[in-house]
Structure 1
Amino acid sequence: MSVQLDARPPVAAVPPVRPDRTIRLSRIDTKWSPYLYIAPFFLLFAIFGAYPLAYTLWVSLHDWDLLGSNPAFVGAENYTRLLADPDFWHSVVNTLGIFVISTVPQLLAALWLANMLNRQLRARTGWRMAVLVPNVTSTAAVAIVFGVLFGREFGMINWLLDLVGLDGVDWKSNRVASWVAISTMVDWRWTGYNALIFLAAMQAIPRDLYESAAIDGANRARQFWSITVPLLRPTIIFAVIISTIGGLQLFTEPRLFHSGTNAIRGGPMRESQTVTMYMFENAFAPYYNFGYGSAVAWLLFLLIAVVAAVNVLIIRRLGGGAGKGDPR
Structure 2
Amino acid sequence: MTTTQQKPSVEPPPGKNRPHPPLTWRQRLGRLDVKLSPYLYIAPFWIVFALVGLFPIIYTAVIAFQDWDLVRNTGEFTGWDNFAYVVQDREFWLSLRNTFSIFLLSSVPQVIVATIIAAMLDKNIRAKTFWRMGVLLPYVVAPVAVALIFSNMFGDRYGLVNSVLNDIGLSSIAWHVDVIPSHIAIATMVNFRWTGYNALILLAAMQAIPRDLYEAAAIDGAGTFRRFFSVTLPQIRPTMIFVIITSTIGGLQIFDEPRMYDTNGQGGSNHQWETITLYLYKTGWGEFNFGRAAAIAWILFLIIVAIGMLNFAVTQRLIATDSVARKTKKSRTASKAKHIKKEVGK
TM-score (norm 1): 0.91
Partner of 2:21: 18
1:233 aligns with 2:234: no
Q: Structure 1 residue 17: deviation in Å?
A: 3.7
AA partner of residue 95 (structure 2): S
Residue 37 (structure 1) aligned with residue 24 (structure 2): no
Counterpart in 1 of 2:111?
107
**Residues in 1 aligned to 2:318 and 2:163: alpha-carbon distance in whole angstroms:** 41
Residue type of the partner of 1:270? Answer: H
Equivalences for residues 260-271 of structure 1 within 5 A: 260=264, 263=265, 265-271=266-272
Bigger Cα Rg? 2
- Give per-residue Cα distances to partners, 1:155-206, cap 9 Å, x unaligned: 1111222233221111011111110000011001100000000000111111
Q: Does 1:299 align with 2:299?
A: yes
Q: Kindly tell me: are residues 69 and 29 of structure 1, through their superposed partners in 2, closer, same or farther at Cα, counting changes over 3 Å?
A: closer
Matches within 5 A, 1:278-317: 278-285=279-286, 287-317=287-317
Contact 1:230 1:323 in 2 (8 A): no
8 Å contact 1:67–1:288 — kept in the other structure?
Answer: no
Structure 1 residue 320 displacement after superposition: 4.0
Indicate which of 180, 193, 197 corresponds to 2:184.
180
What is the CA-CA distance between 1:220 and the residue it aligns to? 1.3
Task: Give the Cα separation in 1 of the matches to 2:162 and 2:212.
Answer: 50
The reply on whether 1:28 has 2:29 as its aligned counterpart is no
Give the Å deviation of 1:319: 4.2
2:82 corresponds to 1:78: yes
Matching residue's letter, 2:44: P
Query: Which residue pairs with 1:6 in the alignment?
Result: none
Compute the TM-score of the two structures, normalised by the length of structure 2: 0.86
User: Contact 1:102/1:186 (CA < 8 Å) preserved in 2?
Assistant: yes
Q: 1:39 Cα deviation (Å)? A: 1.1
Q: Shift of residue 66 of structure 1? A: 3.0
Amino acid at match of 2:322: A
Residues 110 and 19 (structure 1), Cα distance of their counterparts in 2 relative to 1, 3 Å cut: farther
Q: Which moved more, 1:310-319 or 1:267-276?
A: 310-319
CA distances 1:262-295 after superposition (whole Å, capped 9, x unpaired): x1x201111100000000101112x000000000
RMSD (CA atoms): 2.0
Report whether the alignment pairs 1:127 with 2:131.
yes
CA deviation string 1:98-139 (max 9, x = no partner): 000100000000001000000000111100110000000011
Conservation of the 8 A alpha-carbon contact between 1:63 and 1:289 = yes
Q: Percent identity between the aligned chains?
A: 45
> Could you report, residue by residue, the CA deviation over 1:40-81 in whole angstroms, capped at 9, with x for unpaired residues?
111111111111110000000101143558411101110111
Structure 2 equivalent of residue 5 of structure 1: none
Tell me the secondary structure at the aligned position of residue 260 of structure 2: helix
In the TM superposition, 1:196-211 aligns within 5 A as 196-211=200-215
Displacement of 1:19 after TM fit? 4.4
Alignment partners' CA distance in 2, 1:66 and 1:39: 33
Distance 1:304 1:201 in 2: 26
1:116 equivalenced with 2:117 (yes/no): no
Tell me the secondary structure at the aligned position of residue 79 of structure 2.
coil
- Structure 1 residue ranges without an equivalent (≥5): 1-9
Task: Give, in whole Å, the separation in 1 of the partners of 2:124 and 2:73.
Answer: 65
Question: Would you say how many aligned residue pairs link Structure 1 and Structure 2?
Answer: 314
1:215 aligns with 2:215: no
The gaps in structure 2 that reach 5 residues or longer are 1-8, 328-346
Q: Secondary structure at the match of 1:64?
A: strand
Q: Does 1:190 align with 2:194?
A: yes
